Structure 1
Amino acid sequence: MKRIGIAVNQNKPSAVDVTGQLVELLEAKRVSVLVDSGVADQIGRSDLAMDVQHFPGKVDLVFVLGGDGTLLGVARQLAFFDLPILGINLGHLGFLSEAEPDDLHSAVDRVLSGDFHLEKRMMIEAAIIRNGQVIHNSIALNDVGIAKGSFGRMVTLSVYVDDMYVDTYSGDGLIVSTPTGSTAYSLSCGGPIVSPHINVIVVTPICPHRLNSRPFIVQKNQEIRVEVSATHNDMGVTIDGQVGYKVEANDTILVRKSSHYTTLIKWQERGFFDVLRQKLHDPN
């Protein structure tokens, strides 16, 4: 493992300092390093600068310095290239990260010695269809949200699985998530926690206006079709809570498993439920 790219959220207060430390550690181990262009100049290493989207073919893996949101964004950028990602948490929760700034020496040593395993995380893709034409396509690691805007009234969403009618939900919207995304927005809306080793798709209503509206889970190879109905156009689709598209009444959203995965670098001794307890603050 001789070529490593570093993607950085430079808005994090410690981002520049940690990036500098990481570059020094890697170069001391004779590792070839490329650094996110926005930060390379700030650490005085413009010779290492490269935009993250150009990492594929130039590096063997990517260190992501930031929080979960940073890692989600990088995962979408690199989804088509199967580059392993190690998250180094500079954020608050860091649920997807495997290392902390205090562990840089250990993290570098473990990666270079191969003391880790690769975890394939399922992704989903969404298409927005208007008047029979696909107007937007996108890919997500966490979730696809279909919801009303801040001041919009309720939306009504008719849901089909493989063309079989499931139910019609009136409320704030709907979340379609991966197992990785089951611990994010879906969880806060009452959705189930799903182990990332089980490739399924979770559908969770957002503030449904009916007592019997409940989340449900479908197989990974099934397609979710959502038909939108509303008396207003203050609605949108969000991808991982970061990318948004306007939606109009009578639009259709198709969500299915993507053929691409995010590959995360994980330590052998840290299981999913260990991380779950730690990050969600189990007092025991």
Structure 2
Amino acid sequence: MRTIAVFVNPDKPRAVEMKARLEELLCAAGLRTLCFETGHRHADADLSALREAELAFVLGGDGTLLGVARQLAPLGVPLLGINAGHLGFLSEAEPANLEDTVRRVAARDYALEERMMLEASLTRRGRTEQTLIGLNDVGIAKGSFARMVTVDVYVDDVFVDSYSGDGLIVSTPTGSTAYSLSCGGPILMPQLKVMLITPICPHTLVARPCVIDSRQQVRLVVHATHRDVGMTMDGQVGVTLCPGDEVVVRESQARTVLVKLGKREFFDVLRSKLHGGNNH
């Protein structure tokens, strides 16, 4: 029997409501379901049974899908997002289309699309302290009331520049429509094999975003006169940084695989999400 996983964000009422209906539809289609709740309370759940899953429905918003993507990337399970949040850039379907979505999954009428991920390794005094992976971005930022932070940027060990301000973001093309976009970064087609470096509120007007090849490696050296500095992955997993810490960001070997139900043009999705569907 084919197995379908279902991840639901318990903090979103619409997602919880959808879960019951989705289970009914999957059962009626002859598909076995494995259900999990998302969030910090369930981060240590045993996901070994997911190796049998054909794909995983993710009921929630973009944040929910980002968290599940980090969990499931090592397993290679494709994700199908059903939007129960706000923008839903990463979602493939809306709650109103649930029945048709299940019908297409049951008929295997879908395609798969790979998205690159990032790997960030924190080194302190020559020792690797932690390594994280994520789909959207790695952010280095100061706290709300702290003074500026300076980040030295190296690409393949070649010095690029020192950026003073609120911090710096390294993002994937998928993440270009997230935090980086709000900091003035460009929008990138998700199929591009590149990384994007975007300063956060830089102290100088000549500091601009930079696009590099995904095969290159970014090394970030943190300088600050205070300890209110942190690194986040996808804006969800945080690590406190100390002055002198180094963060190396590279393309991860892991991939997020997204289920696609039809040919939706990227710019159509972009216009719909950012401008409420206006054509002009």
Question: 1:87-102 alignment to 2 at 5 Å?
Answer: 87-102=81-96
Question: 1:138-217 alignment to 2 at 5 Å?
Answer: 138-217=132-211
Pairwise CA distance, 1:52? 6.6
Pairwise CA distance, 1:268? 2.4
Are the counterparts in 1 of residues 117 and 136 from structure 2 also a CA contact under 8 Å? yes
Are the counterparts in 2 of residues 118 and 266 from structure 1 also a CA contact under 8 Å? yes
Are the counterparts in 2 of residues 179 and 196 from structure 1 also a CA contact under 8 Å? yes
% identical equivalent positions: 56
RMSD, aligned α-carbons: 1.6
Residue 278 (structure 2) aligned to one of 242, 261, 283: 283
Are the counterparts in 2 of residues 36 and 52 from structure 1 also a CA contact under 8 Å? no
User: After the TM superposition, which parts of structure 1 deviate over 2 Å for at least 4 consecutive aligned residues?
Assistant: 50-56
Distance 1:58 1:123 in 2: 23
Pairwise CA distance, 1:101? 0.8
Distance 1:104 1:260 in 2: 29
Are the counterparts in 2 of residues 125 and 140 from structure 1 also a CA contact under 8 Å? yes
Residue type at the aligned position of 2:278: P
Pairwise CA distance, 1:224? 0.2
Aligned to 2:30: 30
Residue type at the aligned position of 1:283: N
Aligned to 1:44: none
**SS at structure 2 position matched to 1:198:** coil
Distance 2:64 2:268 in 1: 22
Are the counterparts in 1 of residues 199 and 208 from structure 2 also a CA contact under 8 Å? yes
Deviation track 1:95-130 (CA, whole Å, cap 9, x = no partner) reads 100011110111011112122211100000001110
User: Structure 2 vs 1, CA of residues 55 and 75 (structure 1 numbering), >3 Å: closer, same or farther?
Assistant: farther
Provide TM-score, normalisation by structure 1: 0.93
Residue 130 (structure 2) aligned to one of 133, 136, 142: 136
Residue type at the aligned position of 2:34: L
Distance 2:61 2:36 in 1: 16
**SS at structure 2 position matched to 1:57:** helix
Distance 1:131 1:269 in 2: 49
Number of aligned positions between the proteins: 274
Distance 1:132 1:258 in 2: 21
Residue 232 (structure 1) aligned to one of 194, 213, 226: 226
| Pairing 1:246–2:240 present | yes
Residue type at the aligned position of 1:2: R
Pairwise CA distance, 1:37? 5.4
Question: 1:74-113 alignment to 2 at 5 Å?
Answer: 74-113=68-107
Are the counterparts in 2 of residues 7 and 52 from structure 1 also a CA contact under 8 Å? no
Distance 1:212 1:191 in 2: 14
Aligned to 1:222: 216
Aligned to 1:264: 258
Pairwise CA distance, 1:269? 2.5
Aligned to 1:41: none
Distance 2:198 2:148 in 1: 16
**SS at structure 1 position matched to 2:73:** coil
Are the counterparts in 1 of residues 9 and 15 from structure 2 also a CA contact under 8 Å? yes
| Residue segments in structure 2 that go unaligned for 5+ positions in a row | 39-43
Are the counterparts in 1 of residues 5 and 53 from structure 2 also a CA contact under 8 Å? yes
